[in-house]
Structure 1
Amino acid sequence: MPEEEPLTGGNTTVVVRVGATVRRPVGPWTPAVHDLLNHLTAVGFAGSPQVLGIDDADREILEFVPGDVGRLTEAEPLPAWFRTPESCWSIGRWIRDFQSAQAGLVVDPAKPWRRAEGTALGPDDVIVHHDVSPYNTVRRPDGSLVVLDWDFARPGDPIEDLAWAAWRWVPLMTGRRWHAEYGVGADEDVRRRQERNLAGLLDGYGPSKRQRRALADAIARQMSGHAADLDDMARSDPVFARLVDLDYARAARRDAEWWVHADLARSSLLAR
């Protein structure tokens, strides 16, 4: 077997590359996630990794996807393309295409999802990725996108992935720590970037009028809900306890408090 090469960037799992494959730990949710990924592959959706099986160490085997990753650290800021309205348009279209590709998906209610019991899809539900973020996104050499890390996928409202992407891609954040991670220049007009990126995201996704009107509240729910999820998982998992200690939950709550009062939350972009 080729040598294992640790891959950087993950906060919660140990991921290694082995040749043209990636190996990741499995959980009780893995069978449901693999059903989803196998369906996406079968219908020709190219924006998710292909499942190749389970190895002898009880790790899932996925294809390795080459390309640029939207890493987010102060030492290695977000690559320039990932900061643009074009990138936000592309991820909005990715979310729309991902939801459309779920047509005909059969969900086994006996198979649990992470953070949710096994359940059938409601009439207006889709499977929501729940972490469509730059750090989980690979831009292939041809410009197409693949989103990784499907552990938290589960049924939900289609607007949830759009709201999360608005938070993480536009981005809709407060405080200066994210400026270094997202490569904000000293003289940059942050509000202008947010307006242009949010417009790109919405154009790429094509929300209904109802979704536009609901999006501001949905964004706030993603922020506060993420904070609550981190606190809950931290009670039993030291990995998430570390994230709470690193201020991730408090930062999400600060973002939610800022967002509900932000002018952009009431802009004409969300009222068309």
Structure 2
Amino acid sequence: MANSANELPGGNMNVVTRIGDTVQRIAGPWTPTVHRYLRYLERNGIDWAPRPIRAEENSEILTFIEGEVPLYPLPNWIWDDAVLIDGARKLRQLHDASIGFGLDGSIWQSPTKVPSEVICHNDFAPHNLAFAPDGSIVGAIDFDMCSPGPRLWDLAYFATRVCPLTQDPPEGAPGPDDAKRRIELILTSYGSDATWRDVLRVAATRLWDLAEMSIEKADELFKPQLRAEAVAYERDAEYLASFLRSA
């Protein structure tokens, strides 16, 4: 096991450093809750999430999830139907395993949403998933933004990133003409009775919420580039609302 520290790419809100088979992240008031939740997931059969090792005053240590975490621009294999199916099934496992988690004394970094059906990951997307060489998902990372919320909150964001539901899809990604089919494939794989229109509606709301959070974090973390991201989120939210009205 290597002992040298190596800052991992892709961190936007937090600096993540790999040290051997562990990762070190900046901790916050929510860290004890997240660690308690991760231990709860492990007891409920989720063996593909990080395991908490310890939390110190300003940092936390977790196990490293081995696998390829794709960076932007996303590789073309991310758009395969198999990723939609595998991701939706993993998300269902994650949500189901969170049922019964005790909320007394919990502190969350992300606001709680209603209905609070499960503990949402709140950033379940390719950039927070680890993939095996065959394209299967072997793990999820970055649970520090998790909080109670509706299942559809996570499903809509996952669809936003993997369908994708954006005004200007990345090069090589499917276009809006395939959005309905891809959303319905996610819903079927998850086992949800929501409709594709429900997903579009919540996806737009989710993007507005993300834009507001990015503006707050831009000031809190002294990262003005987050304001540009907020503008992009707002643009995509307006696009989805327009797409829904015309569908």
**Length-normalised TM-score, structure 2:** 0.88
* Pairs within 5 Å for 1:66-105: 66-73=66-73, 78-105=74-101
Match in the other structure for 1:202: 187
Match in the other structure for 1:135: 127
Contact 1:259–1:265 (CA<8 Å) still a contact in 2?
no
Per-residue CA distance 1:185-218 (angstroms, 9 max, x = gap): xxxx623443443233122212114x65532221
Moved more, 46-55 or 14-23: 46-55
Check if 1:243 corresponds to 2:234.
Answer: no
Match in the other structure for 1:146: 139
CA distance in 2 between partners of 1:145 and 1:164 (Å) = 20
Select the structure with the greater relative contact order (CA < 8 A; seq sep ≥ 6).
1
Count residues with an aligned counterpart: 245
Check if 1:260 corresponds to 2:245.
Answer: no
Check if 1:179 corresponds to 2:170.
Answer: yes
CA distance in 2 between partners of 1:61 and 1:232 (Å) = 26
Contact 1:22–1:61 (CA<8 Å) still a contact in 2?
yes
Question: Shift of residue 263 of structure 1?
Answer: 5.8
Distance 1:19 1:265, change over 3 A: farther
Per-residue CA distance 1:37-87 (angstroms, 9 max, x = gap): 1100111112311112236x74211111111212113xxxx2333211110
Question: Shift of residue 112 of structure 1?
Answer: 1.3
Which portions of structure 1, spanning 4 or more consecutive aligned residues, are displaced by more than 6 angstroms?
A: none
Per-residue CA distance 1:129-187 (angstroms, 9 max, x = gap): 11111111111357233221112111111210001111111110013xx524xx44xxx
Distance 1:54 1:43, change over 3 A: same
Distance 1:61 1:90, change over 3 A: same
Amino acid in structure 1 at the alignment position of 2:240: W
CA distance in 1 between partners of 2:241 and 2:96 (Å) = 30
CA distance in 1 between partners of 2:176 and 2:196 (Å) = 19
Match in the other structure for 1:170: 163
CA distance in 2 between partners of 1:206 and 1:44 (Å) = 19
CA distance in 2 between partners of 1:84 and 1:123 (Å) = 31
Aligned mate of 1:191, from 176, 188, 192: 176
Distance 1:92 1:225, change over 3 A: same
CA distance in 2 between partners of 1:166 and 1:150 (Å) = 18
Contact 2:197–2:244 (CA<8 Å) still a contact in 1?
no
Secondary structure class of the residue paired with 1:149: coil
Distance 1:215 1:197, change over 3 A: closer
CA distance in 1 between partners of 2:84 and 2:246 (Å) = 17
Distance 1:130 1:51, change over 3 A: same
Check if 1:228 corresponds to 2:212.
Answer: yes
CA distance in 2 between partners of 1:242 and 1:44 (Å) = 39
**Length-normalised TM-score, structure 1:** 0.81
CA distance in 1 between partners of 2:122 and 2:246 (Å) = 21
Q: Supply the RMSD in Å over aligned alpha carbons.
A: 2.5
Amino acid in structure 1 at the alignment position of 2:47: A
Distance 1:81 1:221, change over 3 A: same
Contact 1:93–1:205 (CA<8 Å) still a contact in 2?
yes
Contact 2:183–2:196 (CA<8 Å) still a contact in 1?
no
Structure 1 spans left out of the alignment, 5+ residues? 267-272
Distance 1:208 1:35, change over 3 A: same
Identity of aligned residues (%): 30
